[in-house]
Amino acid sequence: MPLLRSWSSSRRSIYIDPQSNNNSHLQQLNTNFINHILFPYFLSNTTTISMTSSLESEHPIKAYGYAARDTSGVLSPLTFFRRATGEKDVRFKVLYCGICHSDSVFAKNEWGITKYPVIPGHEIVGVVTEVGSKVEKFKVGDKVGVGCLVGSCRSCQNCAVDYEQYCPKQIFTYGVPDADGTQTHGGYSDHMVTDEHFVLRWPANLPLDSGAPLLCAGITTYSPLRYFGLDKPGTKVGVVGLGGLGHVAVKMAKAFGAEVTVFSTSVAKKQEAIEGLKADHFINSKDPEQMQAAMGTLDGIIDTVSGNHPIAPLLNALTAHGKLILVGIPEKPIEVAAFSLIMGRKLIAGSNTGGLKETQEMLDFAAKHGITSDIELISIDYVNTAMERMLKSDVRYRFVIDVANSLKTE
């Protein structure tokens, strides 16, 4: 999912108004965001919420996971139930699950839509244990993945062209009402049961642990590079922010043959960017001279930063017809002078994860080019500490939970 940094947690310090953290207008923005942008996505499902607990009790398959029970977001063990394997369902044992920023946001109900208890996790890799009678793509023993979505309407104009991520009735992998009225639960759990349409085939040579974050961080950066034509050799691509999304964006763009420039406020990341991730250039975005020198040089920029930051210097860095693609969600609206777009026919756009077809294509591309996330593998009982560290950007670059080897079941 797009990178939404916790509004109550630390943010990248670049360009942030130090007065802003406690301002009431932020709460207003928060409310506007939820009411006008996020909530419509869930409106169609709200009537089923009250049915959740009774329906869930009818589910026959016992499951175990780590759940948040209130807005503290603290996760602890939970026994719950998953549905029996339906005709088109794939049941799989969870092996690994990445920790995304959205997991913390949902666990703390910062979007105002969380129904507790919630079991997060949407970077899920596992091995199939059972398939329904009409499942065509998978068999027992197959390695599989599930990302941000487990359902959509399958008939709207977006679903019809494999853009399930823009379906108005999309069903997130956890924390929202499922099609049958129960609540979805994610991959911080022993197993999943998911319609095969939303299950990805895991490439044989793609590592299961360090590949898991590709299911969110990978597709969120791959999709805009492809859609906006930034996937051609020689294209000059900027990546703003070097975190979970940014470091994968650099790897994807390099694999496409792009010349990659990393923008970061942390000079300490220069060595990592150039030597570790093989970026071609590094720009300290707090240095006006370096920003000036970058003027008019880039065909496109993937902006992964979720802290508030000015857009104008990034627009200046674009060539004519250049594209600035937002995948981070700062809490303040961005300010843009129309002149800066008009003088160069420049474009600002947003992008949200990817559809199932494209996610499969991304996994196959990653396997072919040896792209994985840099990860820190943890036991599930470390998850609360990991979340705190993630919110302080104290991870290079993604935590992945070794679910199968650390989650104790009865």
Using CB under 5 A as the criterion, which residues of the chain lie in contact with Zn ion when the complex forms? 1, 100, 102, 152-153, 156, 159, 167, 216
| Tokens 């091995």 -> residue | 127
Residue 285: half-sphere exposure toward Cβ, Cα within 13 Å: 27
Q: Which is nearer to Zn ion, 148 or 311 (CB)?
A: 148
**Closest distance to Zn ion from the beta carbon of 202 (Å):** 18
Answer for the pair 359, 146: CB distance below 8 angstroms, yes or no: no
**Closest distance to Zn ion from the beta carbon of 100 (Å):** 3
Cβ partners under 8 Å of residue 239, min gap 6: 246, 249, 250, 253, 260, 261, 262, 263, 279, 301, 302, 304
Q: Beta strands of 316-407 (E only): which ranges?
A: 318-326, 347-350, 375-378, 398-402
**Closest distance to Zn ion from the beta carbon of 120 (Å):** 9
Cβ partners under 8 Å of residue 28, min gap 6: none
**Closest distance to Zn ion from the beta carbon of 284 (Å):** 28
Q: Which is nearer to Zn ion, 258 or 386 (CB)?
A: 386
Q: Which is nearer to Zn ion, 125 or 318 (CB)?
A: 125
Residues in the chain: 410
Give me 207's structure tokens: 């590592």
**Closest distance to Zn ion from the beta carbon of 156 (Å):** 3
Q: How far is CA 358 from CA 104, 173, 181, 205, in A?
A: 26, 17, 28, 19
Q: Which is nearer to Zn ion, 4 or 135 (CB)?
A: 4
165: amino acid identity, one letter = Q
Using CB atoms within 10 A of its CB, is residue 355 exposed (0-12), middle (13-18) or buried (19+)?
buried
**Closest distance to Zn ion from the beta carbon of 216 (Å):** 3
| Tokens 């207003």 -> residue | 28
**Closest distance to Zn ion from the beta carbon of 41 (Å):** 11
Q: In angstroms, rounded to a whole number, what is the distance separating the alpha carbons of residues 212 and 124?
A: 6
57 φ, ψ (degrees, to nearest 5):
-70, -15
98: amino acid identity, one letter = G
Q: Which is nearer to Zn ion, 89 or 123 (CB)?
A: 123
Helix axes 217-227, 244-255, angle to 10 degrees: 40
Q: Which is nearer to Zn ion, 159 or 193 (CB)?
A: 159
Task: Specify the DSSP element, H or E, that contains 253.
Answer: helix 244-255
**Closest distance to Zn ion from the beta carbon of 189 (Å):** 16
DSSP one-letter code for 115:
-
Q: Which is nearer to Zn ion, 236 or 398 (CB)?
A: 398
Which one, of 194, 193, 176, 195, lies nearest residue 184 by Cα?
Answer: 176
**Closest distance to Zn ion from the beta carbon of 246 (Å):** 14
